[in-house]
Amino acid sequence: MPPSGRSCLLGWRIMPGLALAVLLWSAAFLTGCGKSPALINRYVFDYPAPAVPAASPLPVALKMGQFAVAQAFNSTAMIYQEKPQKSDSYQYNRWRVNPGYLVTDYLSRDFRQARLFSAVFAPGSPEPARFRLEGGVEEIQEVDEPTGWQASLTLTVTLLDLQAEDSDRQVVFQKTYRAREPLAQKTPPGLAAAMSQAMARLSQEILAEVYQAARKRLER
């Protein structure tokens, strides 16, 4: 028998206040023994960089800002909305990274491959640039409607002229872009594929309008 006032577990002497905690930990550990961990599927966008009309590269650089995310979508959860004001997320399927990073990374890639600017720099880059593109992910979710399931993506972008003398002239333009794409399959992979199509469509619009806005500012 262990001395009065003490408890023994697996040969170790434990103070009374710790005994219950160790027992609970042991029960949880033993319950999980023999079970494989749940497989989490992780997704990213998958689309070719959009084609843009032939245009002469502007002789200035563009710096990308890190896109923010609305709090309702500020995680790697793949969210679906079954009805208005009610949303949930897939338990074993998630985005690979936060949607803000996904959108920023893919827009950066698309701008670089389009060659609309002399250079495109990543967020936090020390290199100087004439323009900076900031933005936010306002919505990224599956919307389940009686007419069909859709991937819904809403982005807001702001183009800033970093060389503008007056702060009120820094904003070149600001716009909200929305896209909905039907799911070919009512599954998380179907959502990832449809969201990729939505991102491709918005990226093409953003590239064209950012280029035109920057070109007009340089012509002044």
For residues 103 and 156, membership in a common domain is answered with yes
Mark the ranges of the chain whose per-residue pLDDT is less than 50: 1-31
Residue-wise over 63-92: b if at least 16 C-beta within 10 A, else e? bbbbbbbeeebeebbbbbbeeeeebeebee
The structure tokens 């997704």 sit at 43
Instruction: For residues 45 and 31, state if they share a domain.
Output: no
Structural domain of 67: 41-219
- pLDDT in the model for residue 35: 65
Same structural domain, 200 and 132: yes
Do both 1 and 67 map to the same domain?
no
Is the domain of 9 the same as that of 93? no
* Residue 154 token pair: 């809403």
Question: Into how many domains does the chain fold?
Answer: 2
**Rounded Cα gap, residues 105 and 49, in angstroms:** 12
pTM: 0.82
Q: In this structure, what token pair is assigned to residue 205?
A: 């619009």
pLDDT at 55: 79
Q: Residue 164's domain is classified under what CATH number?
A: 3.40.50.10610
**Do both 119 and 185 map to the same domain?**
yes
Task: Tell me, yes or no, whether 130 and 167 share the same domain.
Answer: yes
pLDDT at 183: 98
Distances in Å between the Cα of 199 and the Cα atoms of 75, 122, 194 are: 18, 19, 9
